[in-house]
Amino acid sequence: MRLSSSLVRPLALVLLVVSVAGCSWFKKGAKGDYALAPEARPLEVPPDLNLPNTSGAMQVPGTGQAAATGGAAVAPAAGGFTVAGSRDEAFARVGEALEAVEGVTIASRAQLLGTYDVSYEGASFLVRVSAVEAGAYVSAVDPRGLPATGAAPAKLLAALKAAIGG
């Protein structure tokens, strides 16, 4: 049972063509992004970071204290006091009173922000004048934006309250 060479050649040719063309074992193709070099892979962004934060997108500005301070609510600090009149008038009166207090050094003043950067009895803090419904609120604030604590801020606020009449 010998196969003739005329039959073996076409059969071998068909077998070769089918095995190379139709078999995925011999095919080298893309295996996905993980097969690429690390520098060539696309950037993967976690799902919570590819969308903008919209939690405060539809907040309506309030009235009163928050609206008068540009939308930021000003919580009265311990030891602060309220002065009648506008914030700008109170800012000017606080500046005059600060200049009259012995031992106060005014490093800078920012009327737009309503703050005086002061040093008093070895402590550095801000004296802030903010608009409230009843007029202007004068308080002492530390560099972190928290109410200033300690003897020096309390003593200075008491002197300002006595000078301005809050």
As a whole-number percent, the residues of the chain with pLDDT over 70 amount to: 70
The predicted pLDDT at position 56 comes to 66
Query: Based on the domain organization, do 41 and 118 belong to the same domain?
Result: no
* DSSP designation for 35: G
Query: Based on the domain organization, do 38 and 78 belong to the same domain?
Result: no
The residue range of the domain holding 84 is: 74-164
Query: Based on the domain organization, do 95 and 147 belong to the same domain?
Result: yes
- Domains of the chain: total: 2
The tokens describing 133, both together, are: 């419904």
Structural domain contains residue 64 = no
- H or E element: which one contains 108? strand 104-110
The predicted pLDDT at position 150 comes to 86
Rounded to the nearest 10°, the torsion over CA 32, 37, 43, 48 is 70
Structural domain contains residue 59 = no
Q: How far is CA 50 from CA 38, 39, 43, 55, 104, in A?
A: 21, 21, 12, 15, 50
d(CA 147, CA 158): 15
d(CA 6, CA 136): 109
Structural domain contains residue 150 = yes
* DSSP designation for 61: P
Query: Based on the domain organization, do 152 and 112 belong to the same domain?
Result: yes
Structural domain contains residue 81 = yes
The predicted pLDDT at position 128 comes to 92
Query: Based on the domain organization, do 101 and 29 belong to the same domain?
Result: no
Please tell me the number of Cα atoms within 13 Å of 56 on its side-chain side: 2
Query: Based on the domain organization, do 41 and 78 belong to the same domain?
Result: no
The predicted pLDDT at position 73 comes to 41
Structural domain contains residue 69 = no
Structural domain contains residue 147 = yes
Structural domain contains residue 54 = no
Query: Based on the domain organization, do 30 and 85 belong to the same domain?
Result: no
Please tell me the number of Cα atoms within 13 Å of 147 on its side-chain side: 16
Query: Based on the domain organization, do 103 and 36 belong to the same domain?
Result: no
pLDDT tens sequence for the chain (166 residues): 566 777 778 888 887 777 776 655 555 555 677 677 888 877 777 777 776 767 666 655 544 444 444 444 444 445 688 988 899 999 999 999 999 889 998 999 998 888 999 999 888 899 999 999 888 999 998 888 888 888 889 999 999 988 887 6
Query: Based on the domain organization, do 95 and 24 belong to the same domain?
Result: no
The predicted pLDDT at position 31 comes to 67
